[in-house]
Amino acid sequence: MQVKDKVVVVTGAASGIGRALCERFAKEGARAVVASDVDTVGMAETLARMGDDTQAVGIPCDVGDEESVNKLVQETLKRFEHIDLFCANAGIFTAGGEEVPIEAWQKIWDVNVMSHVFAARAVLPGMLERGEGYLLNTSSAAGLLSQVGSAPYSVTKHAAIGFAEWLSITYGKRGIKVSALCPQAVRTAMTAGSEGGGVAGLDGMLEPEQLADSVVATLAEERFLVLPHPEVLTYMRRKTEDYDRWLGGMRRLQERFEDAYKARAEADAANDENSD
Protein backbone atom coordinates (compact mmCIF):
# COMPACT_ATOMS: atom_id res chain seq x y z
CA MET A 1 0.00 0.00 0.00
CA GLN A 2 1.08 3.52 -0.80
CA VAL A 3 -0.24 5.95 1.80
CA LYS A 4 -0.64 8.80 -0.69
CA ASP A 5 -4.31 9.82 -1.11
CA LYS A 6 -5.45 7.30 1.52
CA VAL A 7 -7.73 7.85 4.53
CA VAL A 8 -5.87 6.73 7.65
CA VAL A 9 -6.93 6.37 11.29
CA VAL A 10 -4.32 6.18 14.06
CA THR A 11 -5.15 5.45 17.70
CA GLY A 12 -2.77 6.33 20.51
CA ALA A 13 -1.94 9.42 18.44
CA ALA A 14 -1.28 11.93 21.24
CA SER A 15 2.43 11.14 21.49
CA GLY A 16 5.21 8.68 20.71
CA ILE A 17 4.66 6.12 17.98
CA GLY A 18 1.14 7.28 17.17
CA ARG A 19 2.20 10.90 16.71
CA ALA A 20 5.17 9.89 14.54
CA LEU A 21 2.89 7.76 12.35
CA CYS A 22 0.43 10.62 11.90
CA GLU A 23 3.18 13.03 10.90
CA ARG A 24 4.77 10.56 8.51
CA PHE A 25 1.47 9.63 6.85
CA ALA A 26 0.78 13.34 6.32
CA LYS A 27 4.22 13.76 4.71
CA GLU A 28 3.47 10.78 2.48
CA GLY A 29 0.46 12.65 1.10
CA ALA A 30 -2.42 10.91 2.85
CA ARG A 31 -5.77 12.37 1.88
CA ALA A 32 -6.78 12.45 5.54
CA VAL A 33 -5.26 11.43 8.87
CA VAL A 34 -7.62 10.90 11.79
CA ALA A 35 -5.65 11.15 15.04
CA SER A 36 -7.37 9.56 18.02
CA ASP A 37 -6.55 9.31 21.73
CA VAL A 38 -8.00 9.71 25.21
CA ASP A 39 -5.45 12.49 25.72
CA THR A 40 -7.19 15.30 23.85
CA VAL A 41 -4.47 17.84 24.65
CA GLY A 42 -1.76 15.67 23.12
CA MET A 43 -4.07 14.82 20.24
CA ALA A 44 -4.47 18.52 19.44
CA GLU A 45 -0.69 18.94 19.50
CA THR A 46 -0.35 16.09 17.00
CA LEU A 47 -2.90 17.72 14.69
CA ALA A 48 -0.96 20.98 14.78
CA ARG A 49 2.20 19.20 13.63
CA MET A 50 0.72 17.68 10.47
CA GLY A 51 0.68 20.80 8.30
CA ASP A 52 -1.94 21.96 5.82
CA ASP A 53 -1.55 19.52 2.93
CA THR A 54 -3.47 16.70 4.64
CA GLN A 55 -6.91 16.87 6.23
CA ALA A 56 -6.03 16.32 9.89
CA VAL A 57 -8.94 15.44 12.16
CA GLY A 58 -8.96 14.64 15.87
CA ILE A 59 -11.56 12.27 17.30
CA PRO A 60 -11.25 11.23 20.98
CA CYS A 61 -11.47 7.50 21.67
CA ASP A 62 -10.97 5.07 24.53
CA VAL A 63 -9.80 2.02 22.60
CA GLY A 64 -10.66 -0.32 25.48
CA ASP A 65 -14.34 0.54 25.10
CA GLU A 66 -16.12 -0.90 22.07
CA GLU A 67 -18.75 1.83 21.91
CA SER A 68 -16.01 4.46 21.80
CA VAL A 69 -14.22 2.62 18.97
CA ASN A 70 -17.49 2.34 17.05
CA LYS A 71 -18.05 6.09 17.40
CA LEU A 72 -14.52 6.76 16.11
CA VAL A 73 -15.13 4.64 13.01
CA GLN A 74 -18.66 5.96 12.39
CA GLU A 75 -17.57 9.59 12.64
CA THR A 76 -14.64 8.94 10.31
CA LEU A 77 -16.94 7.29 7.77
CA LYS A 78 -19.36 10.22 7.93
CA ARG A 79 -16.52 12.56 7.00
CA PHE A 80 -14.63 10.47 4.44
CA GLU A 81 -16.98 7.61 3.38
CA HIS A 82 -14.33 4.92 3.78
CA ILE A 83 -11.17 3.99 5.72
CA ASP A 84 -8.17 2.68 3.80
CA LEU A 85 -5.80 2.06 6.72
CA PHE A 86 -6.67 1.62 10.39
CA CYS A 87 -3.70 1.70 12.77
CA ALA A 88 -4.69 0.16 16.10
CA ASN A 89 -1.68 1.57 17.89
CA ALA A 90 -2.68 2.45 21.46
CA GLY A 91 -1.16 0.30 24.20
CA ILE A 92 -0.19 0.28 27.86
CA PHE A 93 2.42 -1.44 30.04
CA THR A 94 1.97 -3.05 33.45
CA ALA A 95 4.96 -4.42 35.34
CA GLY A 96 4.69 -7.57 37.45
CA GLY A 97 3.68 -11.20 37.21
CA GLU A 98 0.75 -13.40 38.09
CA GLU A 99 0.21 -11.37 41.27
CA VAL A 100 -0.90 -8.28 39.33
CA PRO A 101 -4.46 -7.41 40.47
CA ILE A 102 -7.29 -8.63 38.25
CA GLU A 103 -8.38 -5.05 37.54
CA ALA A 104 -4.95 -4.29 36.05
CA TRP A 105 -4.99 -7.54 34.07
CA GLN A 106 -8.41 -6.64 32.66
CA LYS A 107 -7.37 -3.09 31.75
CA ILE A 108 -4.27 -4.14 29.83
CA TRP A 109 -6.23 -6.92 28.15
CA ASP A 110 -8.86 -4.45 26.98
CA VAL A 111 -6.34 -1.91 25.68
CA ASN A 112 -3.70 -4.25 24.23
CA VAL A 113 -5.96 -6.99 22.83
CA MET A 114 -9.65 -6.17 22.71
CA SER A 115 -8.93 -2.81 21.08
CA HIS A 116 -7.81 -4.75 17.99
CA VAL A 117 -10.96 -6.89 18.11
CA PHE A 118 -13.16 -3.81 18.46
CA ALA A 119 -11.40 -2.10 15.55
CA ALA A 120 -11.77 -5.15 13.31
CA ARG A 121 -15.47 -5.45 14.10
CA ALA A 122 -15.99 -1.81 13.26
CA VAL A 123 -13.97 -1.44 10.05
CA LEU A 124 -14.07 -4.86 8.39
CA PRO A 125 -17.67 -4.71 7.09
CA GLY A 126 -16.90 -1.63 5.01
CA MET A 127 -13.50 -2.91 3.91
CA LEU A 128 -14.90 -6.29 2.89
CA GLU A 129 -17.71 -4.62 0.95
CA ARG A 130 -15.13 -2.56 -0.97
CA GLY A 131 -12.84 -5.58 -1.35
CA GLU A 132 -9.84 -3.77 0.09
CA GLY A 133 -8.46 -2.36 3.33
CA TYR A 134 -5.43 -2.47 5.57
CA LEU A 135 -5.11 -3.13 9.31
CA LEU A 136 -1.87 -2.19 11.06
CA ASN A 137 -1.90 -3.59 14.59
CA THR A 138 0.81 -2.41 16.96
CA SER A 139 2.11 -5.27 19.07
CA SER A 140 5.74 -5.56 20.23
CA ALA A 141 8.77 -7.77 19.94
CA ALA A 142 7.46 -9.05 23.29
CA GLY A 143 4.61 -10.62 21.34
CA LEU A 144 7.07 -12.68 19.30
CA LEU A 145 9.57 -13.36 22.08
CA SER A 146 8.62 -12.45 25.66
CA GLN A 147 8.84 -9.59 28.16
CA VAL A 148 11.07 -9.95 31.19
CA GLY A 149 9.42 -8.26 34.15
CA SER A 150 5.84 -8.17 32.86
CA ALA A 151 3.55 -11.13 32.44
CA PRO A 152 0.55 -8.94 31.47
CA TYR A 153 2.48 -7.17 28.71
CA SER A 154 3.96 -10.39 27.32
CA VAL A 155 0.64 -12.23 27.36
CA THR A 156 -1.38 -9.43 25.76
CA LYS A 157 1.18 -8.74 23.06
CA HIS A 158 1.30 -12.46 22.17
CA ALA A 159 -2.49 -12.38 21.91
CA ALA A 160 -2.37 -9.31 19.67
CA ILE A 161 -0.02 -11.14 17.30
CA GLY A 162 -2.29 -14.18 17.32
CA PHE A 163 -5.32 -12.10 16.39
CA ALA A 164 -3.45 -10.30 13.61
CA GLU A 165 -2.35 -13.66 12.19
CA TRP A 166 -5.94 -14.91 12.29
CA LEU A 167 -7.20 -11.82 10.49
CA SER A 168 -4.61 -12.24 7.75
CA ILE A 169 -5.39 -15.93 7.31
CA THR A 170 -9.16 -15.43 7.32
CA TYR A 171 -9.51 -12.31 5.17
CA GLY A 172 -6.33 -12.20 3.08
CA LYS A 173 -8.09 -13.67 0.02
CA ARG A 174 -10.81 -11.01 0.32
CA GLY A 175 -8.56 -8.01 -0.16
CA ILE A 176 -7.70 -7.33 3.47
CA LYS A 177 -4.04 -6.70 4.27
CA VAL A 178 -2.71 -7.04 7.82
CA SER A 179 0.61 -6.05 9.36
CA ALA A 180 1.84 -6.37 12.94
CA LEU A 181 4.23 -3.72 14.22
CA CYS A 182 6.74 -5.38 16.57
CA PRO A 183 9.47 -3.01 17.78
CA GLN A 184 11.79 -3.38 20.71
CA ALA A 185 12.59 -0.20 22.67
CA VAL A 186 11.28 3.08 21.25
CA ARG A 187 11.75 6.42 22.96
CA THR A 188 8.21 7.03 24.21
CA ALA A 189 6.41 7.69 27.49
CA MET A 190 6.16 3.92 27.98
CA THR A 191 9.95 3.49 28.10
CA ALA A 192 10.65 6.71 30.02
CA GLY A 193 10.71 4.94 33.38
CA SER A 194 13.19 2.26 32.37
CA GLU A 195 16.96 2.66 32.18
CA GLY A 196 17.88 2.51 28.50
CA GLY A 197 14.64 0.74 27.67
CA GLY A 198 15.40 -2.27 29.88
CA VAL A 199 15.78 -5.65 28.16
CA ALA A 200 14.12 -4.30 25.01
CA GLY A 201 16.79 -1.60 24.79
CA LEU A 202 19.75 -3.96 24.44
CA ASP A 203 19.74 -3.47 20.66
CA GLY A 204 19.33 0.28 20.94
CA MET A 205 16.53 2.73 21.51
CA LEU A 206 14.84 3.96 18.34
CA GLU A 207 13.22 7.33 17.90
CA PRO A 208 9.53 7.14 16.93
CA GLU A 209 10.34 8.75 13.59
CA GLN A 210 12.72 5.88 12.75
CA LEU A 211 9.95 3.41 13.49
CA ALA A 212 7.59 5.32 11.19
CA ASP A 213 10.13 4.86 8.38
CA SER A 214 9.93 1.09 8.88
CA VAL A 215 6.15 1.18 8.88
CA VAL A 216 5.91 3.04 5.56
CA ALA A 217 8.46 0.71 3.93
CA THR A 218 6.64 -2.42 5.15
CA LEU A 219 3.21 -1.13 4.10
CA ALA A 220 4.61 -0.54 0.62
CA GLU A 221 5.78 -4.16 0.49
CA GLU A 222 2.61 -5.43 2.24
CA ARG A 223 4.56 -7.75 4.54
CA PHE A 224 3.04 -9.05 7.77
CA LEU A 225 5.81 -8.27 10.25
CA VAL A 226 7.07 -4.74 10.72
CA LEU A 227 10.45 -5.14 12.44
CA PRO A 228 12.14 -1.78 13.09
CA HIS A 229 14.78 -3.76 15.03
CA PRO A 230 15.90 -6.42 12.48
CA GLU A 231 17.62 -8.40 15.27
CA VAL A 232 14.19 -9.61 16.36
CA LEU A 233 14.03 -11.96 13.36
CA THR A 234 17.27 -13.61 14.49
CA TYR A 235 15.92 -14.04 18.02
CA MET A 236 12.72 -15.59 16.65
CA ARG A 237 14.74 -18.14 14.69
CA ARG A 238 16.81 -19.01 17.74
CA LYS A 239 13.63 -19.47 19.75
CA THR A 240 12.07 -21.89 17.28
CA GLU A 241 15.30 -23.77 16.57
CA ASP A 242 15.98 -24.62 20.23
CA TYR A 243 13.22 -23.55 22.60
CA ASP A 244 14.92 -24.81 25.75
CA ARG A 245 18.18 -23.05 24.98
CA TRP A 246 16.28 -19.85 24.26
CA LEU A 247 14.43 -20.14 27.58
CA GLY A 248 17.76 -20.54 29.34
CA GLY A 249 19.02 -17.35 27.76
CA MET A 250 15.85 -15.51 28.79
CA ARG A 251 16.33 -16.69 32.39
CA ARG A 252 19.77 -15.13 32.36
CA LEU A 253 18.26 -11.88 31.12
CA GLN A 254 15.68 -12.14 33.89
CA GLU A 255 18.44 -12.34 36.48
CA ARG A 256 20.24 -9.37 34.92
CA PHE A 257 17.22 -7.09 35.03
CA GLU A 258 15.28 -8.55 37.98
CA ASP A 259 15.98 -5.75 40.44
CA ALA A 260 15.09 -3.04 37.94
CA TYR A 261 11.76 -4.61 37.05
CA LYS A 262 10.88 -5.24 40.70
CA ALA A 263 11.45 -1.55 41.37
CA ARG A 264 9.24 -0.63 38.41
CA ALA A 265 6.46 -2.96 39.59
CA GLU A 266 6.60 -1.42 43.06
CA ALA A 267 6.46 2.07 41.57
CA ASP A 268 3.45 1.11 39.42
CA ALA A 269 1.66 -0.32 42.45
CA ALA A 270 2.37 2.84 44.47
CA ASN A 271 1.05 5.02 41.63
CA ASP A 272 -2.13 2.92 41.41
CA GLU A 273 -2.73 3.33 45.14
CA ASN A 274 -2.19 7.10 44.97
CA SER A 275 -4.67 7.40 42.08
CA ASP A 276 -7.46 5.58 43.95
Closest CA to 212 of 48, 5, 10, 63: 10
Q: What is the residue-wise DSSP string for 40-86?
A: HHHHHHHHHTS-SSSEEEE----TTSHHHHHHHHHHHHHHHS--SEE
Neighbouring-strand partners of residue 32: 7, 55
CA angle in degrees (0–180, nearest 5) for 135-55-132? 30
Query: What is the rounded CA–CA span in Å between residue 87 and residue 72?
Result: 12
Q: How many helices (H) and strands (E) does the chain have?
A: 9, 7
In Å, what is the CA distance from 202 to each residue of 195, 206, 231, 232, 236? Answer: 11, 11, 10, 11, 16
Query: What is the rounded CA–CA span in Å between residue 20 and residue 35?
Result: 11
Q: Which of 134, 153, 171, 235 is catalytic?
A: 153
Is 153 labeled as catalytic in the residue annotation?
A: yes
Q: Could you list the active site residues?
A: 153
